[in-house]
Structure 1
Amino acid sequence: MQEQITLYGDIHKLSPYVRRVELALLEAGATFKTHRFGVYTKPAWFVGPDGVNPYTGKIPAITYGGPEVPPEEPSPLSAKITESHVILEFIADVFPSSQLLPSDPVSRAHVRFFMDAIKNVDGPALDFFYGTSGAYEKLLNGLEAIQKLLPDEGEFAVGEHYTIADASLTPILYFVVVLAKTNAGKFDPELGTKLAEELRSEKLAKLRKYGKGMMERENFKKAVDMEHDKDVIKQLFGDRS
């Protein structure tokens, strides 16, 4: 019998980091429950000394094992695991038959290398969203860099199976796509228009093809509702589309 798993995420369902974990759990065929709260008013049971993530207070986080309890009352008998990439590797270890992390050492190293490279998109994407100077150029450079790592043939980031590299990359690509579609955020709207043009360009054709394939997967559709996300971003930051 599978141990209980509770995933903690943001109330607006926008965090690409939480979506990474959700995608990995879905691809693994795991049974889990999700609990969401406002990240700007984190409850004591989450950030307190005996909470789910007293170290950084960040989401995502999961509890694993222990008794079935309400999410707001995490058991001291459950393991608390934080940081999206750490959680992804944990899920791959708990569900080895899912092949989320390949069995051979070389392929595992390739997956981990790819995941490390995703930081070239992660940081710039969020910096761009919040209007940080110079973030647009860094984001484009990051997208081009990650595209170079994608295989010329095949649908996955590494190898012939869906791995945690795909679970890591797809949500941040999706986040960038939503920003381009809504042009909503704290960035210059002219840069949002330029971003949309770049995403449609031949220069990013391979990355676009990869993203399209990943976003057509059934488990991605279970985890994501683009219309909901577009509406929430517009409500929070204004409609500039």
Structure 2
Amino acid sequence: MAKQARAIRTRRQILEAAGAVFDEFGYDAATIAEILARAGVTKGALYFHFSSKEELARGVLDQAVTTEGILPQESKLQEFVDIGMVLAHRLPREPLLSACIRLSADHAARELLGTSWPAWTEFMAEQLRGAKEQGELLPHVVPEDTATVVVGAWTGMEVISVGLKGEESLEQWIAKLYDHLLPGIAVPGVLRRLDTAPDRGARIWETYLEVRDTLAPAE
């Protein structure tokens, strides 16, 4: 058990180092040597877990879709919003998550590895299907189409927020995105109760950290 726990920690350590390097340099310019230096592990340890840079990048992309930090809400549409808001809070602070967008947007990497977007789109569509079953969405809403729009818009806002380098945070930009999007899909009574404040993600994440030891393991 001790060896297994140590192996899990080492693998995570390597993934986080790889995420930081891919996020900073992109796929082509990233090197195993730099990842080793960041991870602080031996070459043998790295190759025990990952056989190549390509496999490392795939391992990073596998971390893209996560429910960590999302707490159950009475409103499924609020949970849908929370996913985007918590990610907006975490992504600037966690290079491993940021690297997933960098790799997905990198043309060379995308040709080789694919992207995290299909998995994100299906995950978000699932949340919207739950919201529709609860009667929270307007009749015309097609969850799969809306999920595609949201994932594309969310990714675009992240890219724009980095490029603008202004005073507004990613959390503020994503809050604006939801404020523009939700009136077109939410039942008015539900819309009035949704919390899309820019600090929503930070508040949910803080609460999650306080209670996570009592929760079932996140995906």
More helix by share: 2
Query: TM-score scaled to structure 1, two decimals?
Result: 0.30
Query: TM-score scaled to structure 2, two decimals?
Result: 0.32
More strand by share: 1
Higher relative contact order (CA 8 A, sep 6+): 2
